Structure 1
C-alpha cells in the first residue's frame, strides 16, 4: 500500500526526536523547555506535569498569544485527543475529549461550571459559547474522567480556565499598567478591540477592568465568504451571518503577600449571532433520525432568518490562605453566583402546499416566528484544603474539600404563524409552551485524596474518593401542565454516587516517570432529559419524559511514560475507557395515532481505547541565544458500542502533527506546524450516518505558520497564516455532528488559506 507523504515524514521526525538528535549533544548553555517548569492546579494541588499521573495539557497566556488563539478551536488545533466543534460563525459548539463530548466534558471558568447545552425540537439548539478566551490567563485540559475531584459532568474530562489578574498587566515596581489590543482574522472577518487598565491602589490592594468587543461574520469555507444568492441544501457557500461579542471583566485583589489572598471578580459576557439561512430554503425539512414520513402540514421554505444571543453574568469571591496547623497547611473557600440566558429567535416565510387530510391550507403565505428562552442560574459554595504529613519513611499529601451548588433552569417557547393573504393567525400550536417544568438542581459533594510518597519519593501512590448527591426538583407550573395535558406528572430524582481513583507513579530517575492511573466519572441526567414532553403535530412526533433514567458512568485505565531533561520531553500514553448508561435521544416506537414516539433512554455499554504521543527537543543552539526546536504529537483511537457492535462516530480519525520552531529569548517566536489527519473509513462509521450518505471522509494535511515578535517592552505583534497550501478538506468533528447528507459536503469544507494578526500595546 502506498503511504501518503506525511506518513513517512512523520515517523522519520518522531524517530529523530526520540533518538535525541546529534545536534543537541555538544551545544553549550542548553535551553530548558518551558514544560519542565509548569506547575498545574487542575488536580487541586500545585503539581508539575510529571506528578499528575494523568493526561493534562497546560496552556499559559503566552502560549495563547503565540498561537494567536481567539477560540478553543485555535488553541487545541494541535492537541492530541482533543477536538472542538465550531458553529457557523466560528463560535464554540462542543468540546470532545477522546471522542466524548456533548456536556460530558466539564467547562469551568474560575471553578464555576458553564451551563449545559439545551435543545427542543427543530427550532432550539443552544451551544456552549459563554466565555471570551482573551480573558483567560491559563487553560488546563484533563483528558480523563475526574469525578473524584470535580463531581458530575467530568465524565470524559474537563477544560479548566482561569481569568487574568491585576498583576498580569502591571510591570514590577510600577503602580499602573494596562494594554490596548486590536486583532483581525480573515476566516470570519472578525475585528477585535480591547482595553485594560490596572493599578496597585495600595501595597496590598490591586484592581483591573478589561473591556473587549469584536465584530465578525460567518465562518468561511474553502470557497470563501457566504456571498451569492444560491439557496437550498445544495448551496456550496456558507450561510451569511453577522456576529457581535462583548465582555467586561473586573477584579479586585487584596493580597497580604504572606498568608491571605482575597479576590472579587465580575464578568459580563454577551455574544450575538444573526444568520440568513439560505441553505434552508426549499421544501420543508425532515427531522433526521426521527421521522420517516412527510410533515402533516407540508410547506416550502422561502426565507429563514435567525438570531441567537448568549449572556453570562458571573460573580466570584475567593479566599486563598496558608496557615500551618494540624488540619491543613493551605486552602481556599469560594462563593460564586452565575446567571446565564440564551435567547433564540427565528423569522420564517413559508408557502404551504395542499394536504388532503386538511383542506383549505394550500397556497397560504405564512409569516412564522419562534422565540425560545433558556435561563440557567446557579450559586455555589466550595472549599478545599491541603496538608503535608511527614510520617518518617513516608510522606502524605492530603487534599480534601467539599462543594455545594444550587441551580435553577427555566425554558419557554413562544411565537405565531400569520397568513399574510388573510391577515389572521393560523397557528396550530397553543403558544407560549413549555417543554419541561421549571426545575431546581442541588449538587453536593465531598472528596478526599491522599498522595503517599515512598522510598525517597521514587514511588508514589494516589488514592481518591468522592461522594456526590444529586437532587432534581421540578416545580408545579401551570404553563407546563397546559402545554402537555397528556404528559405524566413531572418526576423528581435523587441520585448518589461514589467515584474512585487509584494511581501509581514510579520515578526510576529524575528524568523518567512511569505511571498507571484508574479513574471514574459520572454524570447525572439533565433536567430536560428527565421531564421534557411535547407533541409536534406538524411532524407527527411525540416526546415522552423518562423518570427512570440512570446516571452515565465511565471507568478508565491509562498507562504512560513521561521523560524530560534539559533539552527533550516525551509523553506516551495508552488508555481504555468503558462507558455505561449513555443518555441518548431516539425513537422508541409509534402510538395509536401513528405518531413517532421519542424519548431519552440509557444505552448499555460502549468503550473507547487508543494512544497519544507528545515529544519535543531542542535541535540547534546559536551564540546569539536563538534556539531551533522540533515537536511532534499523534492520537489514534477506536470506539464501539458493545451491544450493537456499531462504531462510535464521535471518535476522530488518526491525527499527527509535527512542528519546527525558532525562538530567541522572550522576544521572538515562530513555528511552522504540519497537521495531518487520516481518512474516516466506512468501517469506522455507524450505519445511522451511512443512511444519510456519510460513508467516508478523505484524509488531509495542512501547514500553518504563526509567531510573535516584541518590538520593545510595550509593543507586541502576533500573527499567523493557516492552511498555507490552500488545501480543501473536511473536519470530521464538524461533519458527523451536522448529520450531513452527501449533497451538503461542499458547503461544510474548512477555510482555505487564511490569516490572523493581533497587535498589543502595553503601558
Structure 2
C-alpha cells in the first residue's frame, strides 16, 4: 500500500516523542498510517509502557545513531512466521537456522557473525542456563520484533557484541477486537489460536488473552512437534498518571522435533556410500524426548512523577523445566556405521529480572534532553543433571545410509557418567544515558557499570568414582556508548557511533574458567526517509572486535577454546520503497568479513555459521480489493564448515510466497474472515549448515501453509 507522511511532519523534528515513535522503521515495509491520528493509534497498539529497544525511550529508531531493524505485526503475519528465527530471516546481518530446519527447539542465530542465545521479551532478558533450557516465546504473543545491531551492553548488560533481539509483547487495548485462527500445512499441522482484547465494561481495566494449540510432524524421521500457549495480560489505569500492567505467559512443549546431527560426508560432502535425505535421522525413536514447560509472571508500573519526569518499573519471574533424551554420534571408521552415545538432561530454571527506569524530558536552551537513569537486576538458579552412556558399544551403531531408528531399549541403557550442577547467577547493572536533540543534531552518550557472579557446584560420578568441584566467577565491568547524527531537511541523516559490549563467559567442559569477553564497535551510516514517506533507506558500515572470544576447538567437536581476538567488519543495506499505492518492495544486503585475528592455532580463520554475503527481497502487491500477494527471496552465501576451514558449506537461494484474501469479497456474510496461503522454500531447495565434520544439518524443506482467520 502506498504510504504517505505530510511534508510538514518530516520538516519539523520537534514533534512530540509519541509522534516520532511511530514514524515507522526504515527497515520494514512502510507503515500504513496516513494521518497523525493513525500514528498515535499505532503507538497505542504497542502499549503505553513501550520503549524503543535501542534507547529505552519513546524516541523513534530514526533518532538512534546505530542500526536498528523493526519487524511489525503486519509483516510477521504477512510472512506467517512461526518462530523468532523465522521472523528475523529477512534481516541483514542476521543468519538464522544455524542447526538447520529440523531443529526448532532453540531460537538460534548470529548477528554480525556473533552467535546469540540470549533474547529479550518486552525489554527483559529471557533466562537461558547455557545448557539446553531456553524458553521460546511463540510469535502468537508478539506484536513487534526489534533487532538492535552491535554492542548493547550499556543498556542491557551481558550481551554478545553482535546485537540483540527484543520481542515486544501484545498489550491490552480498550477497543474490542477478537480473532480466532485455524491453520494446517504439508507437515500435518493442526493449529488453533485465539487473540482477544478490549475494555472490561466501563472500568479502568483492559485485557488481552492470547492462546494457541499446535501439533505437527517434525522434519526428520518420525519426530513430532507439539506446543500449548496461554498468555493473558491486564492493564489497570489507576489514574491519569499511573498505569499498572499484570502479565502471564505459560507454554508447554511436550515434543520439539529432533536435536541430532548428520555427518558432513553424505550431506554437504560427497560420500561413496551414497547421499542422505533431508529427513534423515541419526537418533532413535525410543530415546528422543524434549519436554519443556515454563511459566513467566510479570508486572509493569508506569507513573508520571511530574510534567518532566516519569518512572517505569518492570519485573518478571520465570519458572522453567526440561527433560531431554537424546543421542550423539562419534567418528566412523568406514564412513557408514557411526558409533553413538545416549544422554539425558534434566534441567530447571528459577529466575527474577527487574528493571527500573527514571526518564526525564528536559529543555535547556535550544537543546531537548531525554535523560535516562536506570538499575536492573537479574538472578537465576538452575539445576542441571546430565547422564551419558559414554562407553563404546553401549548403544548400537547406526548405518546412516540405511538407518534403523528403533534399536535402543531405554531400560537397558547404562549411564556410566553422571554430572550434577547447581548454578547460581546474579547480575546488577547501573546505567545512565542522555539523548540530546539540538537544532538538527541528535547526540547520544551512555555508560553502565555491572557486577556479575556465577557459582557452579558440580558433582560428578564416572565409572563409580565420585568427585566434586566448586566454581565461583566474579566480574566487574564499565561500558560506554556514544554517537552523533545530523538530520538534514531532505530526510537524510548521517551518523557515527561507538559502543562496547561485556559478555561474561562460563567455563569449558574440563572445568577451566574463561576470561570475560569484551567487544567494541565503530559504526558509520545514514538513515533516510523521503519527504513523501514512500522511500526508506538504512546504510551501516561497521568494524567490531571481540577480545577473549570463544571458538570451536579444532581437536574436540564438543569443546570451546578462547582466542585472543575476533574481528567482524561489514556493510548492511536496507531499502524500502512504495512503488505505488498497490506495490511496495523491501530489499536487504549484508556483507561480513569475519576473521580470528589473534590465536596461535586459528589466526586467519573464519568462524563457522558466518556467510560472507546475505541478501533478500520481499515484494508485496495488492492485486485487487481484498486480495494481496507477496513474493520473497533469501540468499545465504558460502560459509566455513569447521573451525580449521578445511571445507565449505555452499551458498543457496530460496523463495517464499504468501497470499491473503478477504473472504467478504465473496459473500458479505463472511465479513471478518480472511484466508492466507504461504509457502517457504517454494522450490524445495536443498540447503545445509555445518559445525564440523560430524555435525551438519539440512535446512527447511518446502512447507505450504493454509490459515483462515475470523475477526469479530
| TM-score interval, normalised by the smaller of the two chains | 0.7 to 0.9
1:606 positional shift? 1.0
Residues 1:267 and 2:249 aligned together: yes
CA separation of 1:274/1:55 partners in 2, compared to 1, >3 Å: closer, same or farther?
closer
- Give the aligned partner of residue 59 of structure 1: 71
Do structure 1's residue 471 and structure 2's residue 444 form an aligned pair?
Answer: no
Q: Deviations over 1:258-300 (max 9, x none)?
A: 211111111111113366899889xxxxxxxxxxxxxxxxxx9
Give the direction of change, closer, same or farther, for the CA distance of 1:205–1:687 in structure 2 (3 Å limit).
closer
Q: 1:689 to 1:701 in 2, by over 3 A?
A: farther
User: For residues 572 and 666 of structure 1, do their structure 2 counterparts lie closer, same or farther at Cα, with a shift above 3 Å needed?
Assistant: farther
Scaled by the length of structure 1, the TM-score of the pair is 0.73
Once superposed, what is the RMSD of the aligned Cα atoms?
3.8
Q: Does residue 715 of the first structure (1) align with residue 673 of the second (2)?
A: yes
5 Å-filtered alignment, 1:307-318, equals: 307-318=289-300
Gaps of 5+ in 1: 1-30, 120-125, 220-237, 282-299, 354-365, 531-542, 589-595, 622-626
For 2:284 and 2:348, how far apart are their aligned partners in 1? Answer: 31
Deviation at 1:50, TM superposition (A): 1.3
Q: Secondary structure of the residue that 1:210 maps to in structure 2?
A: strand
Q: Secondary structure, in 3 states, of the residue corresponding to 2:344? A: strand
| CA separation of 1:645 and 1:573: change in aligned 2, threshold 3 A | same
CA separation in 2, counterparts of 1:419 and 1:148? 48
Q: Partners in 1 of 2:188 and 2:642 — Cα distance?
A: 38
Are residues 1:613 and 2:593 paired?
no
Unaligned runs of 5+ in 2: 1-23, 34-38, 44-50, 264-281, 334-338, 397-408, 665-669
Which position in structure 1 is the counterpart of 2:701?
A: 751
1:176-191 alignment to 2 at 5 Å?
Answer: 177-186=177-186, 188-191=187-190
* 1:89–1:241 CA contact under 8 A, matched in 2: no
The alpha-carbon distance between structure 1 residues 722 and 584, as it changes in their structure 2 partners (threshold 3 A), is closer
Aligned counterpart for 2:510 among listed residues 544, 549, 574: 544
Q: Give 1:605 deviation, angstroms.
A: 0.5
Deviation at 1:441, TM superposition (A): 1.0
- Tell me the distance in 1 between the aligned counterparts of 2:436 and 2:395: 73
Identify which of 322, 331, 338 aligns with 1:342: 322
1:347 to 1:274, Cα distance in 2 relative to 1, 3 A: farther
Contact 1:556 1:578 in 2 (8 A): yes
Which of the numbers 139, 144, 166 marks the counterpart of 2:145? 139
Distance 1:393 1:735, change over 3 A: same
Q: Note the C-alpha offset of 1:503.
A: 0.3
1:606–1:587 distance in 2 versus 1, CA, 3 Å: closer
Query: Does residue 113 of structure 2 align to residue 99 of structure 1?
Result: yes
Corresponding position of 2:162: 156
Match of 1:636 among 591, 599, 606: 591
Question: Displacement of 1:110 after TM fit?
Answer: 2.5
1:207-245 deviations in whole A, cap 9, x for unaligned? 2333211001123xxxxxxxxxxxxxxxxxx32211110
Give the TM-score normalised by the residue count of structure 2: 0.78
Cα offsets for 1:48-69 (capped at 9, x unmatched):
2210112111122222112111
Q: Which residue of 2 aligns with 1:577?
A: 544
8 A Cα contact 2:460 2:466, kept in partner:
no
**1:149 alignment partner, SS class:** helix
Structure 1 Cα separation of the partners of residues 283 and 56 of structure 2: 53
Alpha-carbon separation, structure 2, partners of 1:652 and 1:404: 36
Q: Which residue of 2 aligns with 1:502?
A: 482
d(CA) in 2 for partners of 1:419 and 1:609? 45
Partner of 1:674: 633
Q: Deviations over 1:608-646 (max 9, x none)?
A: 11111111222234xxxxx22233211111100002111
In structure 2, distance between residues paired with 1:425 and 1:701: 44
**Per the alignment, do residues 58 and 367 of structure 1 end up closer, same or farther by CA in structure 2, a change over 3 Å counting?**
closer
What is the SS of the residue equivalent to 2:471? Answer: coil
After superposition, what is the alpha-carbon deviation per residue over 1:641-693, rounded to whole angstroms, capped at 9, x for unaligned? 00211122222232222333224899554322233344x1xxx63764655xx
Instruction: Tell me what 1:285 maps to.
Output: none
Asked whether the 8 Å contact 2:232–2:248 carries over to 1, the reply is: yes
Kindly report which structure 2 residues correspond to 1:147-226, keeping only aligned pairs within 5 A, or say none.
147-167=153-173, 172=175, 174=176, 177-186=177-186, 188-201=187-200, 202-219=202-219
Deviations 1:722-763 (A, max 9, x none): 344x15231xxx5123x356xx98x725424x3222222123
In 1, Cα distance between the equivalents of 2:452 and 2:329? 44
SS of the equivalent of 2:515 reads coil
- Residues 713 and 73 of structure 1, relative CA distance in 2, 3 Å threshold: farther
Structure 2 vs 1, CA of residues 482 and 193 (structure 1 numbering), >3 Å: closer, same or farther?
Answer: same
Asked if 2 retains the 8 angstrom alpha-carbon contact of 1:274 and 1:306, the reply is: no
Q: Once the two structures are superposed, what CA deviation does each residue of 1:149-198 show, in whole Å capped at 9, x if it has no partner? A: 0000243211111221231xx6x3x5xx4321111232x43221113444
- 648, 658, 670: which one pairs with 2:607? 648
If you compute each CA radius of gyration, which structure gives the higher value, 1 or 2? 1
Q: 1:496-533 deviations in whole A, cap 9, x for unaligned?
A: 1111101010112251111111111111123xx26xxx
SS in 1 for 2:690: helix
Q: How many residues align?
A: 619
Q: CA deviation at 1:323?
A: 2.6
**Which residue is 2:126 aligned to?**
114
Q: Identify the residue that residue 419 of structure 2 maps to in structure 1.
A: 434
Of 710, 730, 736, the match for 2:690 = 736
Distance 1:702 1:525 in 2: 38
From the superposition, tell whether residues 205 and 576 of structure 1 become closer, same or farther in structure 2 (CA, over 3 Å): same
Distance 1:705 1:317, change over 3 A: closer
The aligned counterpart of 1:391 is 364
Mapped contact 2:129–2:382 kept (Cα < 8 A) = no
